[in-house]
Structure 1
Amino acid sequence: MLRIYDTRARQVQEVPGGRVVRMYTCGPTVYRYAHVGNLRSYLLSDLIRRVLERRRARVEVCQNITDVGHLVDDAEIGEDKVAAQARAEGRSSMEIARFYEDAFRRDTAALNLRPPDHTPRATETIDLMIELIVKLMEKGHAYAVPDGSVFFAAETFPGYGEISGNRLDALQPGHRVEGVDPRKRFHADWALWKHSHRELVWETPWGGTGFPGWHIECSAMSLEFLGDHIDLHTGGIDLRFPHHEDERAQSDSAAGKEVVRHWVHGEHLLFDGRKMAKSTGNVVLLSDVAEAGLDPLAVRLAFLEHRYRQQMNLTWDTLRAADRTLRRWRARVAEWAESPSAPLHTESVRQAEAAFEDDLDTPAALRVLRELEKADAVSPGAKFETFLQLDHLLGLDLSTEIGKVRSLPPGGAELLAARERAREGRDWAAADRLREELAELGVHVADTPEGQVWR
C-alpha cells in the first residue's frame, strides 16, 4: 500500500490501490523549454503511477498543457506570454506553443516518464472553462465586472488556505499575483476570466472578449477528464499557493464536495546552491546534460538519490557520478545476463518495494540495489532477474547493454594504460586506485598471468 505525504493533511497517508486511481498533474506552460527542475515535478507523478501499477491498480492520469500564458508580474496583466513571444519572433502563437510542447514531450520521453492518458490543451477546452465560470457565477461564488472580467469571490469558500496555510483574513493585497485591483470586491479575490482585446481571446456569454485565468484551466480540465473524485493531485511546491488553493476552491465550489483526496508536492531543485528558475538565470536543460556527454537518465537517477519532498542541490559532479553508476549497472546487468538463470532475490525486491511504498523513499531503494550488487552470496543470475524486476519502478533502462559488444567508455583506455604502467612499476596502491576508478566507469578489471583483462 502506497503511503504518501498529503500537503493539506500535513501527514503521510495511505493511498488505497483500488481498481482505478485518478491522478491530475499540473502540466507545462509551453512558451519556453522545461528545465530539469520542472522535470523533477513530473518524475513525482511517474513514480506514484509506477508504484500503484505495481500493485495492479489502473492509474488514469490527466496532465494539462497551458498554451495560454499566465501572469508573471503586475506589469503584464492581460498579457499572454505565448502571444508576446510569437510577436517578438514573427511566428504565430500556436507555432510557438506547439514547438515547446513537442520539446517537452521529447524531454519526458527521454526521462522515461510514462505519457498521461489525457493531455488537454487550454486553447482547445475554453468552452469547459466558460461553462465552469458560468456555474460558479450561478452558485454565487463568482461575479462579473463591467469590462467583462470575472472574479472568484474568495470569502464564499470557508476552507481557503488549508493547503498552504495562507488564511484569507491574514492575506494582504501583495500576496496575490494580480496585486491591488479596484474591480475586486475583496482584495484576495482572483481572476477567473480576464477581459482583453489581444491575440488569443474568446467571446463570453456574459459579454466581451478575453482569456481564462491560469487557475480555472486546471479546475475545468480535471473535472472534465477525471470527474469530481480525484485521488491524487501533484505538482511542484511552488504551486501550493496561489494555484492549488485557488483550484481547490473553484473545483469544490462547483462540485459541492471535496474533489481531491490527496495533494502531493515535490520540493524545489537547486543547482550549484541556487534556485533553478528563469528569473535567476540559473537554468539547466536536459539538452545541456546530453551535450555534456551524459545519459539523460542520469538526471532521473540523480533525482532518485533524494526524497521528492527534500530540497535537492544538483551539480555537474552529481550528474557525472549518476552517469557512472548508470553505466556500471547496465554493464553488470549485461554481464549477469550471460550467467545461468536463477530466481530473483525476493528479500531485495521486498525491501526495495517497501521503500518505494514508504512515501517514495527512493534513496533507500537504491541502497538495496547497491548492497545486492556487492553481495557475493547471491548468484549473478538472481542479481540479473532482481535488477530488471526493480527497473520497472526505477525506469533506468538497465537492460540496454544486454547482448552488445562491449567497448570502453571515454577515458577507459587511458586508465587501463595507466594501471598497466602502475603494475609494471609494482605500485600496487596506484593499481588498486585505478581499478576502483575503472569500476566507477563500469569497467571491471581482473589480473591474470597473461596481464590485466577487462569486461
Structure 2
Amino acid sequence: MLRLHDAVRRRAEPVVPEGARSLRLYAFGPPAGHRLHLGDLRSFLLADLVGRLAGRRRVRVLTCHVTDGEAFADDLPALNVRPPDRSLPVDEAMALLSGSAPGVTEPGTPPGLIVLDPGVPGTARWTGSGRLSFEGRELLPGQDGSGSVRLRDVAEADLDPLAVRLALLGHRYREDAELTWDALRAADGTLRLWRSRVATWSEAPSAPMPADRVAAIEGALDDDLATPLALRLMDELERDESLAPGSRFEAFLHLDQILALALPSEIGRPPAG
C-alpha cells in the first residue's frame, strides 16, 4: 500500500488505514481570477499520482478539486491529470472536512494543499509538494508574478507538456524543485526516446514483464513516492538488452498506467521524416 509522509506525525503512513477501501482526495487550487503557472500545477500532479497509485491497490478514490475558479480546463488534461470526480468551492470543501482534518479547515487554507480523508475518524491527514522555482524565479501557488512560466509557454517552445510532468517526477515531491528550460528539453528528449523504444518493442513477440524489476519500481513509488529512484530504475530497464523487447514493452505499458507519460503514443505511427 502507498505510504506518504504525514506532516503532523513526521513519518510515512499508509494513505488509508488497514481495512479501509476508500479515499477522498481534496486538492486545493488557486483563487478565482488567478492565471495558472507551473507552480500551481505541481500539487495537482501529486494528487493525480496519489490517486493512480491508490486505485491500483484497489482503493476507491474520489478526487475533489477545490477552487473558486475554472482555470484548469486546458492545462490539467495536457498533463494527463485525470478529471476530478467533483469540483467544489472552497467553503463547501471546508464544511465537508470540518472535524476530520484538524488544522486544515481554517481560514486561509493555502493553494497547493492536499487532504487525504479515508473516512475513518482521526485518520485524515494533509500533505503537499515543495516549492517550485523556474530559472531561479520562485513560482508560489496562487500568486501571480511577472515572468511566471505557464504551460502554454512550454508548448510554444515546441516541447511536450508532459515533459513538465516527467521533469517534476525527477524530484521528490516534498522537496523544493528547480526547473530550467534545459531540464525541460532533457525531459522532452527522454519522452521521445522512451516512446520510440516502446513503439519498437511493440513489434516484438510478447513476453512476460520482468516481475522483480517492476516490483522494485512499484516499491519505490509506494515508499513515499520515491519517483527519482523509480525513474532511474526505469532507465536501467530500458537499456537492459538482456531482457526481451516484449518483456520491456509490457513493463513500460504497465508502469505508464501510473506515471501517465503517454509512452504508447508512437505505436503504429510511421517513422518521422
TM-score past 0.5 threshold? yes
Aligned to 2:116: none
Measured against aligned partners, the alpha-carbon deviations of 1:202-242 in whole angstroms (never above 9, x if no partner) come to xxxxxxxxxxxxxx45412x34xxx8657xx8xxxxx9995
Q: Which runs of 5+ in 2 are unaligned?
A: 114-119
SS in 2 for 1:219: helix
Aligned to 1:65: 67
CA displacement at 1:377 relative to structure 2: 1.1
SS in 1 for 2:72: helix
Q: Is the 8 A contact 1:4 1:12 kept in 2?
A: yes
- AA aligned opposite 2:45: L
Gap change, CA 1:118 and 1:292, over 3 Å in 2: same
CA displacement at 1:45 relative to structure 2: 0.7
| 8, 11, 25: which one aligns with 1:23 | 25
- AA aligned opposite 2:204: S
**Bigger relative contact order, structure 1 or 2, given CA contacts below 8 A and separation 6+?**
2
Task: Verify: 1:107 aligned to 2:75, yes or no.
Answer: yes
Distance 1:403 1:228 in 2: 52
Distance 2:131 2:10 in 1: 18
Distance 2:73 2:63 in 1: 15
TM-score w.r.t. the length of structure 2 is: 0.87
CA displacement at 1:36 relative to structure 2: 0.8
Aligned to 2:134: 271
Aligned to 2:37: 35
Count of residue pairs brought into register by the alignment: 259
Q: Is the 8 A contact 2:34 2:144 kept in 1?
A: no
CA displacement at 1:107 relative to structure 2: 0.5
Gap change, CA 1:387 and 1:241, over 3 Å in 2: farther
TM-score w.r.t. the length of structure 1 is: 0.54
CA displacement at 1:283 relative to structure 2: 0.6
Q: Is the 8 A contact 1:229 1:261 kept in 2?
A: yes
Distance 1:334 1:240 in 2: 50
Q: Is the 8 A contact 1:301 1:322 kept in 2?
A: yes
Gap change, CA 1:106 and 1:319, over 3 Å in 2: same
CA displacement at 1:281 relative to structure 2: 1.8
Measured against aligned partners, the alpha-carbon deviations of 1:149-207 in whole angstroms (never above 9, x if no partner) come to xxxxxxxxxxxxxxxxxxxxxxxxxxxxxxxxxxxxxxxxxxxxxxxxxxxxxxxxxxx
SS in 2 for 1:104: coil
Q: Is the 8 A contact 1:275 1:282 kept in 2?
A: no
Q: Is the 8 A contact 1:271 1:282 kept in 2?
A: no
CA displacement at 1:15 relative to structure 2: 2.1
Aligned to 1:334: 199
Aligned to 1:243: 109
Gap change, CA 1:354 and 1:241, over 3 Å in 2: farther
Task: Verify: 1:348 aligned to 2:213, yes or no.
Answer: yes
Task: Verify: 1:8 aligned to 2:8, yes or no.
Answer: yes
Gap change, CA 1:39 and 1:24, over 3 Å in 2: same
Q: Is the 8 A contact 2:135 2:179 kept in 1?
A: yes
SS in 2 for 1:243: coil
Distance 1:301 1:46 in 2: 13
CA displacement at 1:16 relative to structure 2: 2.7
| 42, 46, 52: which one aligns with 1:44 | 46
Gap change, CA 1:316 and 1:356, over 3 Å in 2: same
Question: Aligned-pair RMSD on alpha carbons?
Answer: 2.4
Aligned to 2:94: 219
Q: Which runs of 5+ in 1 are unaligned?
A: 68-100, 123-215, 234-238, 248-256, 409-455
- AA aligned opposite 1:396: L
Gap change, CA 1:274 and 1:366, over 3 Å in 2: same
Measured against aligned partners, the alpha-carbon deviations of 1:267-319 in whole angstroms (never above 9, x if no partner) come to 11001122124554231110000000000000000000001111000000000
Distance 1:5 1:242 in 2: 23
Task: Verify: 1:118 aligned to 2:120, yes or no.
Answer: no
Q: Which has the larger radius of gyration?
A: 1
Percent identity, aligned pairs only, is 46
Distance 1:311 1:14 in 2: 23
- Please state which structure has a larger fraction of its residues in helix: 1
Question: What are the equivalent positions in structure 2 for 1:390-409 lying under 5 Å apart?
Answer: 390-408=255-273
